[in-house]
Amino acid sequence: MGCTIHSGRHVEYEKRFGIPAVLAHLEDRIFEGLPNGHAKGWPIKFMSAIRPGADLSLVWPRFAFWLLDTEVKEAASKDERCARAVADIAALFKEWCDIGRRPNFSAAAAAAAAAAAAAAAADAAARSNSYKRQSAKLLELLKAAPCPA
């Protein structure tokens, strides 16, 4: 991110490019996790995947659902409580994708209480060198973001 805007402020992506800060954080995190050969081209691939005027509002929940339902689900499957928490949180992100607006995450008290277990699974998934898959999925979602007619 610093190479793109010469700043550590992720909110600058929103101001300069109309890219939600959450996606700037995600782009930055994936960059840090990719092997050097892949990381060098990542910022250009990220920015090039976004069509001018694209509605990026659902890219984050779609990515989060995919991540929870694939990468994290597998890592969490070894612990029943963790697997349940991941499934509950994934269901909330799926709902967000389906209805097009953020659901009430606080209403899912059981999932929220188990979020620490899900975070541990996410950390395990991240350490398993899944950044290449994550970068490919994020590019796919960015390219598929709808543009106004």
pLDDT of 80 higher than 90: no
pLDDT of 121 higher than 90: no
Q: How confident is the model at residue 131 (pLDDT cuts 50, 70, 90)?
A: confident
pLDDT of 1 higher than 60: no
| pLDDT the model gives residue 128 | 52
Tokens of residue 62, six digits: 């779609």
| pLDDT the model gives residue 135 | 92
| pLDDT the model gives residue 143 | 96
pLDDT of 125 higher than 90: no
| pLDDT the model gives residue 61 | 94
pTM for the predicted model, two decimal places: 0.77
pLDDT of 62 higher than 80: yes
Average pLDDT over residues 110-124: 57
> Hey, CA dihedral for 48, 49, 50, 51, is it positive or negative?
positive
Q: What are phi and psi of 19, to 5 degrees?
A: -95, 125
Question: What tens digit of pLDDT does each residue of 83-112 get?
Answer: 888 888 899 999 999 999 888 777 565 555
